[in-house]
Structure 1
Amino acid sequence: MLQPWRTGKIIQIVDETPTTRRFWIEVPELDRFDFKPGQFVTLDLPIHEAKNKRWRSYSISSWPDGSNVFELIIVQLEGGLGTKYLFTEMKVGSELTLRGPQGVFTLPETIEKDLFLICTGTGIAPFRSMAHHIMRNNIPHKNVYLIFGSRKECDCLYANELKDLQEKAPWFRFLPTYSREEARDGILTGYVHSVYEDVCNDIRNKTGQPLNPAYFYLCGWKNMIDEAKQRILALGFDKKDIHLELYG
């Protein structure tokens, strides 16, 4: 069911990195803003006359907590009209028009397999939501691997929070990898693909099983997703176990 357009109010803004900003949005007309982790909202921004050129969709990065507030994490894109407006015009107290939640990029009803959550950039948003939702609601699950690719360590979104979650939850592994960092102890370098391939091969070696059942969720830029699909299939997994959310 398509949700109506509503008015949201920005109640907090925090810079996560020099180019990435966190926005907390309240929906005053609702007592609860209910959504499933992995869903998104669409903003109608006054940047063009044509509707389809005003709409920008962003995954919700917070988790359902029974309130009427949710969080978005947004990167400022060079030449992007939508993010330019959000970064220069939106302040605490500003109102915007939104619709949601929308989308089917959500967790299975029963988590019977390991979860590989693979992302780049702000594609981490739905996976942060999923990981916290699983933990806070004691949802039965297998192992969860959040594999996050960025250029530099300073670009790693929610890094301290997700490292803390890993320490609290033995079933959760946060595996950031950096494409433009020098190799050194304590960090992974390169792209996301070698990370999930290494994890899968390590599981096989330890269990002696030819294939450990898994769901793969991919969120990020098209090039990463296209390559990941091919590599996951080459590992022997089925296409139906791969779920996508494309950015850009």
Structure 2
Amino acid sequence: MAFTLGLLRRRCRLWGRKRGLAVLMVAMVGTALAATYLRHLAQQRGVKEQPPCTVTQEQRRGLYLLLAAVSALLTRLSITHFLCFDSLWGAVHESGPLPWDPHAHLCALNEKVSRHEEAELLRAFRRRGLALEYSSAEGQYTIRNSSSALGTFEAPTVRVVLFEEDERVQMLRRVGWRRRLLPPDCDAHPSLQCFPPNLAASPLPIRPFGPLSLPAPREDIDLLKFHYPETWWRPLQPHC
């Protein structure tokens, strides 16, 4: 009797293992079939699979054309502008955009921008086939190509962030109504994104940015220290 019970227990354990293995195999097959089916649907819909943090050559070419047009127009309008934020980091470390970033950042002096009526700016950009959108909360223009057609890929943009000098602290601080509510204390309020006016004093140096040559701050590393006070000495990590 003991032998029979032991044999039954071994058979039950063996059957349980086989059943667990079978369930696992079914799940794996099901997952593979589901992935194949999703790829098939994507191909039928014309959706291109793109690895994360990848910028296509088409996106990169579009960014260079857009950035060149924006910088030329800002120069014609006598608006002081220069590479900043992630684009400045890319210019310093990559001599161009960060490998994973399809967009670009410029900073501009609000004093020069405010000399132009909003309607004048809109017309100037529209005549060059560019769409201009302003966020009064963030103090930032977002510029894109009106006729950009990159299929399923994200179209490049140029973000122009506005700064103006606050004489109370003798620093340039970012505009936008969200920040106007804050007291002029750059150390207590990092979101003001302050930096010294001398970094944006004309004439500005020119720095390579891929095939382009664009204005840059007078001391690029110093501006990066203000942009990224806690991490400026470390390689910038992808945020895509």
| TM class by smaller structure | under 0.3
Between Structure 1 and Structure 2, whose CA radius of gyration is higher?
2
Looking at secondary structure, tell me which structure has more helix per residue: 2
Looking at secondary structure, tell me which structure has more strand per residue: 1
Q: TM-score, normalised by structure 1?
A: 0.25
